[in-house]
Amino acid sequence: MVAGIGRPTAYRRSYCQKVIEHMKDGKSLASFAASIGTHREVLWAWRKRHEEFNHACNTAIELPLMIL
């Protein structure tokens, strides 16, 4: 397998905290994707590739439920 082929990832570790902040008021992952200028399907790819981002997304999804 040849490394370095394709577009470099736009993923940043800072997105972990940002997704939690974005979704704490009930906003969606799709709106988070739009807010950072990407598509929601890209977020799914990042979730598969980056365990810390997947964990942050799961936390963000559950936040509104924890507040109730």
DSSP string, 6-68: SPPP---TTHHHHHHHHHTTT--HHHHHHHTTS-HHHHHHHHHH-HHHHHHHHHHHHHHHHH-
Mean pLDDT of the 40-56 span: 97
Does the model's pTM come out above 0.85? Answer: no
Question: What pLDDT sits at residue 29?
Answer: 95
Residue 9 CA to residue 38 CA, distance in Å, equals 11
Q: Note the pLDDT of residue 59.
A: 95
pLDDT band at 20, cuts 50/70/90? very high
Among 8-12, 23-27, 38-42, 63-67, the minimum mean pLDDT is found in: 63-67
